[in-house]
Structure 1
Amino acid sequence: MLLSAFISKRFRAHSGHKDGQNGFVSFIAKASTIGILLGVAVLIVALSVINGFEQQLVHRLLSVVPQVEYVAPNKPINDWQNKVKLLHEQNGVAGAAPFISVSGMAQFKNELKAVEVRGVEADLENQVSALNQFTQGRLVSQLQQEDVILGQQIVNKLGLEIGDPVTLLIPQINQQTSKLLSPKRVSLKLVGIVNMGGPIDETAAYIRLDKAQAVLGFTKNQVTGLRLKVDDVFAAHQTAMRVGQVIPDYVYVSSWFRTQGSLYQDIQMVRTIVYIVVFLIIAVASFNIVSSLVMEVREKQANIAILKTMGAQDSTILATFVMQGFTQALIGVLLGTVIGVMVALNISELFTWLSNLAGDNPLQGVYFVEFLPSKLVWQDIVVTVFVTFILAILATLYPAWQATRIDPAKVLGN
């Protein structure tokens, strides 16, 4: 192995000369190294961004949107206090809270905006939602009877500021005929603003649970739904179906997979596409090693023949050219890993700087984050490096094997 490493080093040094075919072989070798470098760096950065979006999905979006909901389609749920306590005692449930949800309109002066009004019980809501982390002004736990918290985009649409009066128009339904009546006007004061940077900001309107009960004519024990926070968000659907069996009421069972599942599936699909595309790029760069080694074997036929006449074994020749290709891959992998890790660790700041420079943030108002998240997972780096080395070694086997088949008598005779 030491002899093979020495010969491989001498071959590389000779191939570095810029004369004729030597220079062209050197160019192909460097091109394959650069291809591997770029492939590894891009894969590490892309996977880090995907991991960052998945992390933000769990810790940002899923900490606010309901993970599991039981919604009464017709009659309200009675005796919610005991049912919340019962749900909280189930395995896999981290918290439970009641809510009243109704669609309505928010009005300020002559402007109107559609909203989803949610009446929440402050103390219990904090157990199932991290809404306070994204609220400016008064928090949900501090809501008074005549207070309302609205999403940032609603505030922007209506031109509101904290302290302004807001009118909520709540539809009324005749329980006897199921016909819509004229909406009920509820005058409130804006005391807080939800700013998550996503679609929630377009519709969110929070009021106290007892206020919503009074508006809809419910008793203190009646709500339209119950909400859960689960220990494992990725098992939310299974938990929802299992735990829901303890509720005697007729309810619709819903988990975040129904409301936000497409976003999670998109993230996983992009991860798969990135793996396939970038590994194909690495594969193409790795098999450029085949071209460079095949040309080098042809160029070094006389050297190989002399080595064989001096007693070099086929295994030595094979190892020499395997090391030649492995070294090209090693340089590309090491540089690509360093560049990829450095970019992945600083891509959030880089994206913010470029957005400020361009004066436009392409993520604002579109996704649930306004920045480019990144989470470096070392397992991804290990898999990337391992697969790249495997592809590089496979690419070196055929040219190295061809080198062992050279007949010294024919070559030296010519």
Structure 2
Amino acid sequence: MLSLFLSKRLRETKHQSGFIGFLSKASTIGVFVGVTVLIVALSVINGFEQQLKERLLSVVPHVSYQAPYDPISDWPSKVKLLESQQGVLAATPEINLTGMVQYKGKLKATQLKAIEPSKHTQVSSIHRFIQPIDLKNLGENEIILGKGIASQLGVGLGDKVTVLIANQHAKNALAAPKRVSFNVTGLISMGGEVDKNLALVSLPKIQQALMLESQTVTGLRLAVDDVFNAHQIAMSAGRALPDLVYVQSWFRTQGSLYQDIQMVRTIVYLVVFLIIAVASFNIISSMVMEVKEKQADIAILKTMGTRDRTIFMTFAIQGLSYALVGALCGLVVGTLLALNISDLFMLWTSIDGSNPLQGVYFIEFLPSKLDWIDIVIVLVATAFISVLSSLYPAWQATKIEPARVLGGG
């Protein structure tokens, strides 16, 4: 194609001033930096979203029904009823309490969750983060503590702790709390707030402490097939229950985190595309100057019969090439960084000695998930902006009049 050949020749024989060359290189470097940052940033955001779904949302309840007044009786039949509803994968009973774990004079506030061990693995993947015990083998007198709780209290495996829970049936509101003893047989090591707040026990001992019958609980928990449609499923399935319950979905407890991730994604797209746009529009300045410098060559081409369309395509391709070189280099570097950002982050934290994610998010490492759709969008958007930036200088090149340029007029 003649336009490609001419564009290549113009680059090989250019006599650009240092300033024009600087502008063209600056626009290429700008696109390179913008594409690199955008690919890495989007990969990290995708990683957080993936970890939110596969890690946090696999542990926190998708949907829960909590009895505000009278407890839920005959939970096996209620579980079967809920599991027959559309969108529900599994259901299980539980009792949620706020208690205090006591060990050698130390106290730690804890979210105490009494569960049915044989069914809990159907609605939660917390068992993947528990060592060394298998959650299904959790005994009546055993407790599994979050690693953060155990660390704060100085508790180890095999130690005996006391859990203090409110005496809800006492006539005196200031009555002493009930004390229940457990042996520590497992630790939850997931990272984030779960390790610092959660403790798991089996149902019977808590039911006994609360004076509840064996088939009576205060809550039911669901796992749903579409976590991002959990609220609608919760409302639909909840209508089947004959009990008065509060309906909650993960959107209430963790929804702000998901919304923050989506907001950051939008901001990253906007800001980095503006960076790419500024770098691409630098092409206009460099190309206009280049057209002015090459006007004698353009005039000669026109006198030789070169059509305006060919000249237009020549400079459009030249401007596009500046951006594509930067975009392709940014693609390579951004992809390499995105694939290794987790390891680089761990290396940096080991050298620096601090972790900015520790105690802030639900994970303590920097996740990354490279999505090829994002890469395609970045490259297409960069090419589109670059083409727009090249149109005006290329059009200006077609307006050069050979007689005026070559005749000295």
User: If the TM-score is normalised by the length of the shorter chain, which range does it land in?
Assistant: over 0.9
Q: Which residue of 2 aligns with 1:70?
A: 65
Structure 2 Cα separation of the partners of residues 302 and 79 of structure 1: 92
Q: Secondary structure at the match of 1:384?
A: helix
Report the AA paired with residue 12 of structure 2.
A
Report the AA paired with residue 311 of structure 1.
G
How far is the alpha carbon of 1:180 from its aligned partner? 4.4
Per-residue deviation, residues 137-184 of structure 1 (Å, max 9, x unmatched): 223211111111111111111111111111100111236x58342101
Normalising by structure 1, what TM-score? 0.96
Report the AA paired with residue 11 of structure 1.
L
Q: Secondary structure at the match of 2:23?
A: helix
Q: Which residue of 2 aligns with 1:398?
A: 392
2:297 to 276, 294, 303: 303
Report the AA paired with residue 317 of structure 2.
M
2:377 to 370, 377, 383: 383
1:409 aligns with 2:399: no
Report the AA paired with residue 9 of structure 1.
K
8 Å CA contact 2:163, 2:179 repeated in 1: yes
Q: 1:69 to 1:159 in 2, by over 3 A?
A: same
How far is the alpha carbon of 1:355 from its aligned partner? 1.1
Report the AA paired with residue 368 of structure 2.
S
Per-residue deviation, residues 296-344 of structure 1 (Å, max 9, x unmatched): 0110111111111111111011001001011111111111111111111
1:146 aligns with 2:145: no
TM alignment of 1:29-44, pairs within 5 A: 29-44=24-39
- Give the paired residue count: 408
Per-residue deviation, residues 54-83 of structure 1 (Å, max 9, x unmatched): 000011001111010000011100111100
8 Å CA contact 2:94, 2:218 repeated in 1: yes
8 Å CA contact 1:64, 1:131 repeated in 2: yes
1:6 aligns with 2:5: yes
Q: Secondary structure at the match of 2:121?
A: helix
TM alignment of 1:223-302, pairs within 5 A: 223-302=217-296
Normalising by structure 2, what TM-score? 0.98
Structure 2 Cα separation of the partners of residues 253 and 179 of structure 1: 27
Q: Secondary structure at the match of 1:182?
A: coil
How far is the alpha carbon of 1:385 from its aligned partner? 0.4
How far is the alpha carbon of 1:354 from its aligned partner? 1.1
Q: Secondary structure at the match of 1:60?
A: helix
8 Å CA contact 2:140, 2:203 repeated in 1: no
How far is the alpha carbon of 1:232 from its aligned partner? 0.5
Per-residue deviation, residues 261-314 of structure 1 (Å, max 9, x unmatched): 010001000000000000000000110110110000110111111111111111
1:99 aligns with 2:94: yes
Structure 2 Cα separation of the partners of residues 369 and 394 of structure 1: 42
Q: Structure 2: which 5+ runs fail to align?
A: none
TM alignment of 1:77-156, pairs within 5 A: 77-156=72-151
Q: Which residue of 2 aligns with 1:59?
A: 54
Per-residue deviation, residues 222-281 of structure 1 (Å, max 9, x unmatched): 101000000010000110011111001010000000000010001000000000000000
Report the AA paired with residue 8 of structure 1.
S
1:158 aligns with 2:153: yes
Report the AA paired with residue 398 of structure 2.
T
8 Å CA contact 2:34, 2:276 repeated in 1: yes
Q: Which residue of 2 aligns with 1:369?
A: 363
- Taking only the aligned residue pairs, the percentage that are identical comes to 58
Q: Structure 1: which 5+ runs fail to align?
A: none
Q: Which residue of 2 aligns with 1:346?
A: 340
Report the AA paired with residue 210 of structure 1.
P
